[in-house]
Amino acid sequence: MAPAKTNTNKRTKPTPSSSTELKALAAKAQTETRSKHFLSQARLYLHSALLLSLIALAAPVSQLNLSPVYGSIPSAKWHATLLAAACFAGWSSNLLLNRALPRTVKPQHLLPLIALWTPLVQFALGKWSGALSASWGPLVTEGVTLFPLVAVSAACVATALDGADLSWLPGWVADAAPGLGAYGFFKGAERVLGGVVEGYVGRTVLNSRLGMEVVLGASYALLAPSKLLVWTIPALLHTAVLNTHVPTSMALARLNSGLEPAGYVVLDRAESITGYVSVVESPKEGYRVMRCDHSLLGGEWVKFLGQGQFKGNQVAEPIYGVFAMLEAVRLVKTPERILDSEAKALVIGLGIGTTPAALVAHGIDTTVVELDPVVHKFASKYFQLPSNHTAVIEDAVTYTSRLAADEAETRFDYIIHDVFTGGAEPIALFTLEFLQNLNTLLKPNGVVAINYAGDFALPPPRIVLNTIKSVFPTCRLFREHPRDEEDFAKTGRDFTNMVIFCTKQERGGGISFRTPTERDMLNSPSRRAFLLPQHEVRETDFVGGEEGEGILRRNETERLVKWHAMSALGHWGVMRTVLPEAVWEAW
């Protein structure tokens, strides 16, 4: 009898222990899958955030590198539009870019090349700024540097976010979320990082204008290393050896070697919170100026120091008459005579220190409020600013608000308001609220002198004057020089300085000046020629039209902002006639 066959296909019922193990394995596999998915999504978002943060940093750094050549306002004219266009172009063409490149090259491999070549391109185009003009130079420069950097970065982010799991969102929201989210993150990062950059620029070589561009390039190289980096070697060599914008003594020596044919030398330079500040001298002509970006803060004749009739002078000779005119605040007749030995003066805005130096020379207790510590340092080191003054390195709005709110604080016989840079006024210092604080700080018998530089063919001068007159009831205005009618007819521009003298109390007879004495002149030919104001402003000087009506309040500053571009362009053109183009281009 044959043995019974065993059915090998018959399944055996799993034991309780093997069932538990299977469930555990399944749970583990599911957990690992979720962890991997989470990590992959986290890497995706982190990579995108890093790319967006880098271009958010590159944007303000690009502006900082343009401002010495074009000024901050012309540099910013097309900036926001260019950024938006680059983001849209990169986001919408990411697939096309990926297909256009060889298989071994990814779009992100292009980023280090663009970033590390940017300093060289900016340096080269800066030499052509005179031909490009302030209207188009910034757009052209950022068009070949910042635009491709932002566009390629946006394309990389778009490609990365194609893998984002947004299945938990409604369909139409999931379609729009990556683009809107990326752009929102970029704008937020730009705002935050822009403030950080402006607050810390110039403290070390690495956070100088050029240093930050090199750091950005190195960051892109670490993020996307490739064999293409060999093509950055020429740009790196130029930056290290030939780029005179590097804040080193060797680069400064090369800069001065290049400026020698033009007859100028840079004595010192630094990057600070208000811009690129340098002290420039013309040994041949014998004068020295302080520059901030594409503007001059003041200048004096150094060839006269200690020479002939100037030997023993307490003050230097200013090269601009308007600074001497500000000293006429002492000449305004007041109901009660103000003795220099008992007077207190507040000067808002230092420049090279021409006005405070004169006030100190007359024995007046003088306080100077200056936002930029580098400006104060250079004025003390390279110009004739005496040490016996009170220096307040602080924002003038904060300082005056604090003093005005405290009745026990100092009040002043004279207030000189002299702030200007880059073709536009610091708007906060011309608002109704700020001027009201000055009114509070001025003694009843006191006098205020306000220097305003602008284009009389535009509305801002009229708006500023209206605001001043709404606070100070008695005023009188003077220009630095009469209008050049021929130039005005040809260009439509009337850019000049004016000084507004005002008193706190209403005076029926208006403002008048006493005749200057020899002591008032401080043995200075410049003051002999310009101290007593001469060119009174006429009503016809203001041609800004109806838009120049009304006053400027703290929450209405856009009334002046919209005119800044035109005013700054006019100022840029003026500055290019004051110093040779080589000086402006070779910062």
3-state SS of 258-274 is: HHHHHCCEEEEEEEECC
Domain match, 200 and 64 both: yes
Residues 401 and 531 in one domain: yes
Let me know whether 95 and 195 are in one domain: yes
pLDDT for 1 equals 46
User: How many domains does one find in the chain?
Assistant: 2
With respect to residue 304, please indicate whether it lies within any of the assigned structural domains.
Answer: no
Same domain, 514 and 402: yes
279 falls within a domain: no
| 15 part of a folded domain | no
User: Strand, helix or coil at 270?
Assistant: strand
According to the model, what pLDDT value does residue 423 have? 59
Using the 8-state DSSP alphabet, how is residue 472 labeled?
A: -
d(CA 570, CA 574): 6
Predicted pLDDT at 199: 84
Asked if the structure places residue 396 within a domain, the reply is yes
Q: Is residue 508 part of a domain?
A: yes
CB-CB contact of 282 with 292 (8 Å): no
Are the C-beta atoms of residues 271 and 247 closer than 8 Å to each other? yes
d(CA 477, CA 475): 7
Tell which of 216, 242, 268 closes a domain: 242
- 3-state percent helix, strand, coil for the chain, nearest multiple of 5: 55, 15, 30
pLDDT, averaged in runs of 10, over the chain (587 residues): 50 60 68 81 93 97 96 94 96 90 93 98 96 96 98 95 84 85 94 90 90 96 95 97 94 96 96 94 96 94 88 89 91 95 97 96 97 96 95 96 95 94 76 97 97 86 93 94 86 86 88 96 93 90 74 87 84 91 92
Residue ranges making up the domain that contains 138: 36-242
Domain end point (choices 207, 242, 277): 242
Boundary residue ending a domain (242, 257, 273): 242
